[in-house]
Amino acid sequence: MQTKSRRQLVAGNWKMNGDKALVEQMQKHLNAANLENMDVVICPPFPYFSLFNSAVKLGSQNISQFDSGAHTGEVSVSMLKEFDCEYVILGHSERRADNFESDELVASKVEQVLKAELTPILCVGEPESVRENGTLFDYIAAQLDAVLGRVGVSQFSNIVLAYEPIWAIGTGKTASPAQAQEVHAFIRAHLAKQDDNIAANIVILYGGSVKGNNAQELFSQADVDGGLIGGASLNPEDFLSICQAANQ
């Protein structure tokens, strides 16, 4: 794989999975590995945050758009900061579907995370029907524009993007490296209309059924800078082999 100027990143999204034993096994594997040329982030469910040690970067799977107060069931960015959380996944298709998170709500959460100086991992991605009806790029552009309109392009220097085609999440139906590259290049070109430098430097992850046996080829694409990993992040060996594919 050609060496990229952007630092590669792999984030594991455990979703509502895992237990204390997995925290322990994952830390053992990651602490023993030599992954110094990249960033590795684990996004566990909230109860497990305090069980991780400092060798692992932590990310949250969600955050409240509010600072504090009467919002039952929510967790604030300031609470996350107390547990050394550095990243927050926002706009994941499961939250858009299960919790009716609109582009506007996602944009307000991105703003909240940036205000606290944490890094949003902003997910965009299309359902299969959109890819089939030929409106893929309009769909992705609209998701990006909602956030661009709210925080401005300059803030994208503090954002990580993840392209996650919904039809590839948890299905075993990975986007081909060419399909991933095409959308990543589109995202970079869309941002370049407003700022060339930010477009060239932003880290864009691919997510959707990444496994140990397809990570290398996906990550070798010019505009793919690592991955957002769901299912395979629950298996320390698989997750480590995906990280190793990005650690160039």
Binding mask 154-173 for ligand PEP (x = CB under 6 A): ----------x----xx---
Q: Shortest distance, CB of residue 97 to ligand PEP, whole angstroms?
A: 12
- Answer yes or no whether residue 210 interacts with ligand PEP by CB under 6 A: yes
- Cβ-Cβ contacts under 8 Å for 49 (sequence gap 6 or more): 58, 80, 83, 85
- Answer yes or no whether residue 208 interacts with ligand PEP by CB under 6 A: yes
Distance (Å, rounded) from C-alpha 90 to C-alpha 121? 6
Choosing from 101, 126, 164, 184, the catalytic residue is 164
Q: Which of 144, 159, 218, 228 binds ligand PEP (CB under 6 A)?
A: 228
For 77-104, b/e burial (b = at least 16 CB within 10 A) is bebbeeeebebbbbbbbbbbeeeebebe
Q: Shortest distance, CB of residue 57 to ligand PEP, whole angstroms?
A: 17
- Answer yes or no whether residue 13 interacts with ligand PEP by CB under 6 A: yes
- Answer yes or no whether residue 231 interacts with ligand PEP by CB under 6 A: yes
Residue 36: HSE in the Cβ half-sphere, 13 Å Cα cutoff: 1
Q: Which residue is nearest to ligand PEP (CB)?
A: 230
- Answer yes or no whether residue 223 interacts with ligand PEP by CB under 6 A: no
DSSP for 36-52, please give it.
TTEEEEEE--GGGGGGS
Which regions of the chain does DSSP assign to beta strands (E)?
8-13, 38-43, 57-60, 85-90, 119-124, 160-163, 204-207, 226-229
Tokens, residue 68: 């504090």
- Answer yes or no whether residue 230 interacts with ligand PEP by CB under 6 A: yes
Where is 144: in which H helix or E strand?
A: helix 136-151
Instruction: Please confirm, yes or no, whether 164 is among the known catalytic residues.
Output: yes
- Answer yes or no whether residue 203 interacts with ligand PEP by CB under 6 A: no
Nearer of residues 149 and 170 to ligand PEP, judged by Cβ: 170
Instruction: Please confirm, yes or no, whether 92 is among the known catalytic residues.
Output: yes
Nearer of residues 8 and 13 to ligand PEP, judged by Cβ: 13
Q: In this chain, which stretch among 16-24, 133-141, 202-210, 237-245 interacts with ligand PEP, using CB under 6 A?
A: 202-210
Distance, C-alpha 127 to centroid of its chain? 17
- Answer yes or no whether residue 207 interacts with ligand PEP by CB under 6 A: yes
Helix%, strand%, coil% for the chain, nearest 5: 45, 15, 35
Choosing from 71, 92, 94, 111, the catalytic residue is 92
Active site residues: 92, 164
Question: What is the binding site for ligand PEP (CB under 6 A)?
Answer: 13, 164, 169-170, 207-210, 228-232
